[in-house]
A = this chain, B = another copy of it.
Amino acid sequence: MMGEIKEEVMEKGRLAREASLKLMSVPSEKKDGALREMADSLEDNADFILTENEKDQKRAEGKISGALLDRLRLNTKRINQMASGIREIAGMDDPVGEVTEMRKLPNGLIVGRRRVPLGVIGIIYESRPNVTADAAGLCIKAGNAVILRGGSEAISSNTAITRVLSEAATNAGMPGGAIQLIETTDRAAVGEMLKMNDYIDVIIPRGGAGLINFVTQNATVPTIETGVGNCHTFVDSSADIEKAVNIAYNAKVQRPGVCNAMETLLVHNDIARDFLPLVDRRLKEAGVVIRGCPKTRKIIEAEPAIEEDWDTEFLDLILAVKVVGSIDEAIAHINEHGTKHSEAIITENYTNGMRFLDEVDAAAVYVNASTRFTDGGQFGLGAEIGISTQKLHARGPMGIRELMSTKFVIFGDGQYRE
């Protein structure tokens, strides 16, 4: 059994590597044409995909929560959205071959830094089947082959989507094998992928903290950590209270299940009595449960917060609230408990805003705005493959360029080194 799993993963790795070497030099129009074919094919084969998706739903019913079941469910509208996403990618500029720097050296050598594909990208994700289409589209655009490994709940949907996309890509002249799905649902397949340095250039895990820790602890292939967001909003003593209430409400309530939602609200002691009752009213109307520190609980009704709450990504209508004595205490709390994702200060004090931007160590740091904006589309980068919370290679929302590397190209005329 273990042997078979290893064999499937290795074989798909080998095919992806082969395809990637050809994909490196496919011209832009051909890639964009293939992406449009892939989008059309998703819509043309919607019935097939929905039938397969039904199988996943039947198997999952009663085993996973309603929210998860909803994430798993496809319908015509969602398939059309996947197709539009790929069409949008097709319409973007092709970054492959872009030269980001070019200089002529005193000895006459011309040295350029050229953007090139990474090669083969492994994506390990949980149950949303739309990731299959997004990831395949972005990887192909960037000139990479991709090996997908989705959650076992969505295996029938993912298999159907990958088959449709892969056939359309090959028919449109893409190298065969550029889009691979690991079909074994056994978790051992993930372990194999993580050690496949010869065939995979980078692995991007998308999912909860458990998956991401497993991947970063066990991979020998380079990885990009994504997504875990224990995000804070700090309401400084000089905050505009109306802005503060609107932003805090939005950061918690607009979409609580995502990584850029607020999990802990920090409030300066000097403004707590004015601010907390106002935000509390709106949050409670939306059904938010508050877990407060002792000072918070003297001002508003709240469950007592325990130490663990400061480190928890609730992804739910739960909010930890802490009153702090200074901006220093707020920054120290964030740098200790945050996951370096998205952090905001609400302040009218110029120096405090600047200090927060300088001293908070996170992928996205805000003054007077909701952390919910951390997103490739919102930042104007186009479609995104995830949000990196590590510092190496890419940080924050990752678009097509973050799925690429560079190489130096040197044009000489017989130069050798003295």
Binding site for B on A (CB under 8 A): 21, 24-25, 103, 105, 109, 111, 114, 116, 118-119, 197, 201-202, 216-217, 220, 222, 224, 240, 242-243, 246-247, 249-251, 254, 335, 357-359, 361-370, 372-374, 378-380, 390-393, 395-396, 405-417
Say whether A246 contacts B416, CB under 8 Å: yes
Say whether A109 contacts B21, CB under 8 Å: no
Say whether B378 contacts A405, CB under 8 Å: no
Say whether A368 contacts B414, CB under 8 Å: yes
In the complex, what distance in Å separates the CA atom of A414 from the CA atom of B373?
12
Instruction: Answer whether A407 and B362 are a contact pair too, CB < 8 Å, given A378-B417, A390-B222.
Output: yes
| Interface residue SS majority, chain A | mixed
Say whether B24 contacts A247, CB under 8 Å: no
Per assembly, the copies of the chain total: 2
In the complex, what distance in Å separates the CA atom of A149 from the CA atom of B393?
24
In the complex, what distance in Å separates the CA atom of A406 from the CA atom of B373?
17
Q: Report the minimal beta-carbon distance from A139 to chain B, rounded to whole angstroms.
A: 14
Say whether B412 contacts A361, CB under 8 Å: no
Determine the chain B residues whose CB is within 8 A of the CB of A365 once the complex forms: 407-410
In the complex, what distance in Å separates the CA atom of A105 from the CA atom of B376?
12
Determine the chain B residues whose CB is within 8 A of the CB of A247 once the complex forms: 414-416
Which residue of B119, B216, B357, B413 is within 8 Å of A409 (Cβ)?
Answer: B357
In the complex, what distance in Å separates the CA atom of A202 from the CA atom of B409?
27
Name A368's closest neighbour in chain B (CB-CB): B412
In the complex, what distance in Å separates the CA atom of A156 from the CA atom of B335?
36
Say whether B391 contacts A379, CB under 8 Å: no
In the complex, what distance in Å separates the CA atom of A417 from the CA atom of B262?
13
In the complex, what distance in Å separates the CA atom of A123 from the CA atom of B362?
24
